[in-house]
Chain A
Amino acid sequence: MSEEVKVFGAWGSPFSRRVELALRLKGVQYEYIEEDIFNNKSPLLLKYNPVHKKVPVLLHNGKPIAESLVILEYIEETWKSNPILPEDPYDKAMARFWAKFLDDKCLPALWKAGWSPENEREKAVEEACECLKTLEGALNGKRFFGGATVGLVDIAANFIAHWLGIIQEATGHELLSAEKFPHLFKWTDEFVSCSIVKESLPPRDKLLAFFKDRIAGAMDAPTEASK
């Protein structure tokens, strides 16, 4: 059965990369459409996501779905191989809780801490570290948040595994250190070392250059355009 699967994304967006990773983990073939989210969003994107006008959008047999975590749940339900959610309803609830924690609290705190002006930095860093500490606890010595294999929470935490380290390098401010958060730090290595994950991450040097440019000039926060 031939199915049409398309992903509208942006090369640097952790949110659109989440969707690509999930599809790749399940061996789903898809066509990728790169959107110029800062300067020139395509008419198709605006048609498929009129409410938020953002990437990622998944198009399955002509039907569009927006919001990365909603898309991940849809992918999980539609393509059954290599499940990314536990079967047990309680464990599933825990996974959803942590994915939500990442989006509602953790990622905004990390982003804020990365780009805070000097006078707000201390408080922002404190909040970000609280979040990282919570995640360290949630990992609880496991190899992945999903246990033995990559799951929904690992995919949702992709920003921490790849983008965060690059932002740290660009800004010179460290948040996630091996000393302070040993398990989480080790997790970032485990995660990016998976071959399928590696293939689905944006190139490090391109991202670093992007963030350095952002520091040099004034730009809108990418999260607004690229979620």
Chain B
Amino acid sequence: MADVKLHGFWASPFSYRVIWALKIKGVDYEYIEEDLSNKSELLLKYNPVYKKIPVLVHGGKPIAESLVILEYIEETWPGNPLLPSDPYEKAMARFWIQFAVAKASVYRAFFVSTGGEDQEKARKDWLEVLKILEDQALGDKKFFGGDTINLVDISYGVLAYWFKNTEEVIGIKVLEPTTLPRLSQWVQNFMQVPVIKENIPDSHKMLAYLRIVREKIIVAEQHNK
């Protein structure tokens, strides 16, 4: 039985996607915390293209990109399936996972918005993305995966946890029961799932970290203007 290792970062939602999937499937793995300001030789060797975490190493063979890793985990450990077996339903799941990738720039724009008209537009754009997600992907289901969570829920885990802290750092609420009732309920339901509840980063540490990251990006963007 080959060994499994995960190179991750405590604050990264992408790292947590992989952790959650491995835990749900009951896969034993060794976790290696990477210092992003001082990346290990191993990480650079395992992910020369992006030099990022997460990287899953299975039997010595590395895989990068969290969504690619999730598909690999699903295929390699088929117990507790995280994708529908019907090809069409599977395609729909992949479509909604890809939606997050397509709209990442909208999230980023909101994350770095500082005020005024720009921020109002960024907030509106992001709210619209969340409305589409709530309306067309989630609908009246408990989870994106139906009665239990699947890869779609795992992909949107950033909303359940990181986003709340982001809203606090920016000082603007977007994901609320008044504006997004079903998605808000999904957040509550998702955070109650035992595997998720037992595997989330420390909230205080996260808040402080997000503040620093946001500051850095805003300063860098101003330099580039």
Contact = CB atoms under 8 A, between A and B. Distances in A.
Chain B interface category by residue count:
20 to 34
B68 A74 contact: no
A111 B209 CA distance: 35
Contact of A90 (B64, B67, B72): B72
B185 to A, nearest CB: 22
Interface in A18-73: 50-52, 60, 63, 65-67, 69-71, 73
A192 B64 CA distance: 30
Contacts of B87: 74, 77-78
A67 B98 contact: yes
Contact of B102 (A52, A63, A100): A52
Nearest to A89: B75
A212 interface: no
Nearest to B56: A93
B101 A104 contact: yes
Nearest to B87: A77
A90 B63 contact: yes
A92 B74 CA distance: 12
Nearest to A65: B91
A124 B92 CA distance: 34
B95 A70 contact: yes
B37 interface: no
Q: Which residue, A73, A77, A78, A97, has most C-beta atoms of chain B within 10 A?
A: A97
Given A60-B88, A77-B87, A89-B76, A96 B101 contact: no
A134 B61 CA distance: 19
Interface in B142-193: none
Nearest to A60: B88
B173 to A, nearest CB: 25
Interface residues of A, number: 26
A94 B68 CA distance: 8
Interface string B49-70: 1000000001001011101110
A185 interface: no
A100 B97 CA distance: 13
B98 A134 contact: no
Contacts, number: 60
Contact of A100 (B58, B67, B76, B90): B67
Contacts of B214: none
Interface string B74-108: 01100000000001101110110011011000000
B27 interface: no
A114 to B, nearest CB: 20
A181 interface: no
B58 A90 contact: yes
Nearest to B93: A70
B71 interface: yes
Contacts of B69: 93
Given A77-B90, A78-B87, A97 B98 contact: no
Contacts of A104: 101
B91 A74 contact: yes
A92 B75 CA distance: 10
Interface of A: 50-52, 60, 63, 65-67, 69-71, 73-74, 77-78, 89-90, 92-94, 96-97, 100-101, 104, 134
Interface of B: 49, 58, 61, 63-65, 67-69, 71-72, 75-76, 87-88, 90-92, 94-95, 98-99, 101-102, 132, 136
Given A63-B88, A93-B69, 9 more contacts: A50-B136, A51-B99, A51-B132, A70-B98, A71-B91, A74-B88, A89-B76, A92-B75, A93-B72
10 contacts: A52-B102, A65-B88, A69-B98, A77-B90, A89-B75, A89-B76, A92-B75, A93-B71, A100-B65, A104-B101
